[in-house]
């Protein structure tokens, strides 16, 4: 097992006259045995980062160390890592057993019966023992992905690198494999870097997540920290479905004044804002409450659309009934599935002061976040 250290790693590509900065000065320390998920939108530099760690891409600037050994110029095959990709990349003419043993035969002097034993054990661990003599073409997508995982596990590497390994699977299988991968990684304790654009995978699988945008690292923290205490507006909007609500507001005295509402804040929040006055107020849909009485933090709204999800309803509210819904400021609320509201109903929406986030409008930096402790306190355990 191993630690991984990315120190100011940058990768640029030359595209004709244009220089593309795919990864921009990224620093990350990944602990021994940690499961780190790298997440971000398409083109943010996730795969390039992983490929540099794998040794499949040169590093333009910065230092990459595995267990304190700088490996910038160490060949991929000498880094003791195993990769699993979105495309399973199994050899079609080989059986599952041969696919899994091939790497060991090539890279070690282990005797055949030892390799066979290791393949057998790994096959058992992954529940693919009955499939060992089949060809990849005779397997389902999920089974092929398991073989690809088995091929990585059997090599007993220091580090696993996984690039969107579940994205070819259907939703149900993906959810199953998500849990299985977590369990396996936990059991094996191998340091793992897992790349995905899927925020559910990021939230559920990682010990920590690293969020990239435009090649730049936005935040590295536990999933719950990133969710409740985002470092900036990008992270706040990237995590969470439906996304956080955002409203442009201006600080005037102890009030936040927006186009459609005024919102008083207390001294505690005010003191987090420094000199900033042009702000963005953020509130997560599940923090919005529908209540009976209007007040300082409660606003009369009209229901525009209700999306019933079964366990909960996503309700799109707008503030001004005289403005066409498509032009009105929308507030999205996630409410209990049994809480029936209908289109055109007038409802009072509460934006609880202890759940708001405030961002600097020009830099996007979070100036005030809801505290995780507060959020936890509100749950009746």
Residues that bind ligand ATP (CB under 6 A): 13, 15, 20, 22, 40, 42-48, 197
In this structure, the strands spanning 298-308 and 262-264 are unpaired
In this structure, the strands spanning 245-252 and 255-258 are antiparallel
Between residues 22 and 375, which has the closer beta carbon with respect to ligand ATP? 22
Between residues 163 and 304, which has the closer beta carbon with respect to ligand ATP? 163
Question: 141, 165, 167, 169: which is closest to 152 by C-alpha?
Answer: 165
Q: Measured over all CA atoms, what is the biggest interatomic distance in the chain, rounded to whole angstroms?
A: 79
Q: Left if phi > 0, otherwise alpha if psi is -120 to 50, otherwise beta: which for 89?
A: left
Between residues 22 and 154, which has the closer beta carbon with respect to ligand ATP? 22
Q: At what angle do helices 141-153 and 112-126 cross, to 10 degrees?
A: 130
Between residues 239 and 356, which has the closer beta carbon with respect to ligand ATP? 239
Q: Left if phi > 0, otherwise alpha if psi is -120 to 50, otherwise beta: which for 33?
A: left
CB of 316 to ligand ATP, least distance (A): 29
Written as six digits, the tokens of 109 are 């002097």
Residue with tokens 């540099």: 52
Between residues 47 and 369, which has the closer beta carbon with respect to ligand ATP? 47
Separation between Cα atoms, residue 51 and residue 59, nearest integer Å: 10
| Contacts (Cβ under 8 Å, ≥6 apart) of 58 | 11, 52
| R_g over Cα of the chain | 25
CB of 195 to ligand ATP, least distance (A): 7
Between residues 13 and 91, which has the closer beta carbon with respect to ligand ATP? 13
CB of 344 to ligand ATP, least distance (A): 40
- Cβ atoms within 10 Å, residue 265: 23
CB of 204 to ligand ATP, least distance (A): 19
In this structure, the strands spanning 208-213 and 35-39 are parallel
CA dihedral of 318, 320, 323, 324, whole degrees rounded to 10: 20
CB of 23 to ligand ATP, least distance (A): 7
Separation between Cα atoms, residue 213 and residue 219, nearest integer Å: 10
CB of 209 to ligand ATP, least distance (A): 14
CB of 83 to ligand ATP, least distance (A): 14
Between residues 44 and 161, which has the closer beta carbon with respect to ligand ATP? 44
CB of 43 to ligand ATP, least distance (A): 4
Between residues 30 and 287, which has the closer beta carbon with respect to ligand ATP? 30
CB of 31 to ligand ATP, least distance (A): 23
127 contacts 165 by C-beta, under 8 angstroms: no
Between residues 45 and 223, which has the closer beta carbon with respect to ligand ATP? 45
């Amino acid at each position: 097992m191993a630690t991984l250290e990315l120190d100011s790693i940058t990768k640029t590509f030359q595209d004709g006259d244009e220089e593309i900065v795919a990864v921009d000065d990224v620093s990350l320390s990944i602990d021994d045995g940690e499961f780190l998920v790298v997440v971000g939108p398409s083109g943010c530099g996730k795969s390039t980062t992983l490929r540099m760690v794998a040794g499949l891409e040169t590093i333009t600037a910065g230092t990459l160390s595995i267990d304190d050994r700088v490996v910038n110029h160490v060949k991929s095959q000498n880094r003791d890592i195993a990769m699993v990709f979105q495309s399973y990349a199994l050899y079609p003419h080989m059986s599952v057993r041969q696919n899994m043993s091939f790497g060991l035969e090539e890279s070690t002097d282990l005797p055949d019966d030892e390799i066979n034993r290791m393949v057998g054990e790994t096959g058992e661990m992954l529940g693919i023992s009955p499939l060992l003599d089949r060809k990849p073409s005779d397997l389902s997508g999920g089974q092929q992905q398991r073989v690809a995982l088995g091929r990585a596990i059997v090599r007993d590497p220091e580090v696993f690198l996984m690039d969107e390994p579940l994205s070819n699977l259907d939703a149900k299988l993906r959810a199953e494999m998500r849990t299985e991968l977590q369990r396996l990684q936990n059991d094996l304790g191998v340091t793992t870097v897992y790349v995905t654009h899927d925020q559910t995978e990021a939230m559920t699988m990682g010990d920590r997540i690293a969020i990239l945008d435009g090649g730049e690292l936005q935040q590295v923290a536990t999933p719950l920290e990133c969710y409740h205490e985002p470092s900036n507006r990008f992270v706040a909007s990237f995590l969470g479905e439906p996304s956080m609500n955002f409203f442009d507001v201006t600080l005037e005295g102890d009030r936040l004044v927006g186009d459609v509402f005024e919102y008083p804040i207390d001294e505690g929040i005010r003191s987090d804002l420094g000199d900033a006055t042009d702000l963005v107020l953020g509130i997560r849909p599940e923090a919005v409450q529908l209540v009976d009485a209007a007040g300082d933090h409660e606003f009369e709204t009209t229901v525009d659309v209700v999306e019933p999800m079964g366990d909960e309803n996503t309700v799109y509210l707008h503030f001004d009934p005289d403005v066409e819904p498509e032009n009105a400021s929308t507030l999205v609320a996630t409410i209990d599935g049994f809480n029936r509201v209908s289109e055109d109903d007038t409802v009072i929406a509460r934006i609880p002061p202890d759940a708001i986030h405030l961002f600097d409008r020009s830099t996007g930096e979070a100036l005030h976040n809801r505290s995780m402790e507060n959020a936890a306190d509100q749950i009746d355990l």
